[in-house]
A and B are shown apart, each in its own frame.
Chain A
């Protein structure tokens, strides 16, 4: 089945130690999104890629970066994680282009713990 895969499902990192979360998709969608969801809060969009074009949300901290080496993969890099970055990180994909909005397909998320 076509899907959005996130690895790992659980990640523990130390305060200040860089960490990378990965997302892959078999849907061949143009657009890939990264959301942060803290406990009992709604998902918050960090940034998205439309093909190779990166679109950062205005309030996303510089500590968060992303890479999309090809259509299928997208990475979230947290350069110096703080305790406040502990959260569920959700990757999503959708078709793009005029004629939307298109349904977003979410992965299961990676739960990040910062110690």
Chain B
């Protein structure tokens, strides 16, 4: 499974846009890029998933360049409640019966007032 590298921590202020970049140099053709969010003492929660180019939902956007060796999670106008750990993962796609998740270290985002 592809290994991911992301910053250990980031700080931001309320109302700013936050971009978290993840490196996955050995991503396989069949792998997708998935982001989860985890608050303290809770289970992770799915945020967004994509294969290429750009994906947007009501929470975030995911930008994936053509070579797919990195991706950027974009959180628009963060609030204090977005303070959490954000995990970038690359589970195998359509040829796999289960999207097994191997978590890396994650990025701890601290949003300040």
Contacts and interface: CB of A to CB of B under 8 A. Distances in A.
Given A101-B32, A101-B99, A109 B92 contact: no
Nearest to A49: B98
Contact of B105 (A42, A45, A90, A92): A42
B102 A101 contact: no
Interface residues of A, number: 30
B101 A104 contact: yes
A45 B100 contact: yes
B13 interface: no
Contact of A44 (B42, B100, B103): B103
Interface in B58-113: 87, 91-106
A107 B41 CA distance: 11
A12 B106 CA distance: 28
Contacts of B46: 103-105
A99 interface: yes
A15 interface: no
A84 interface: no
Given A43-B103, A106-B44, A101 B91 contact: yes
Given A43-B44, A45-B100, A94-B99, A100 B94 contact: yes
A45 B49 CA distance: 20
A33 to B, nearest CB: 8
Interface string B2-35: 0000000000000000000000000000001010
Interface of B: 32, 34, 36, 41-46, 49, 87, 91-106
Interface of A: 4, 31, 33, 35, 42-45, 48, 50, 55, 88, 90, 92, 94, 96-109, 111
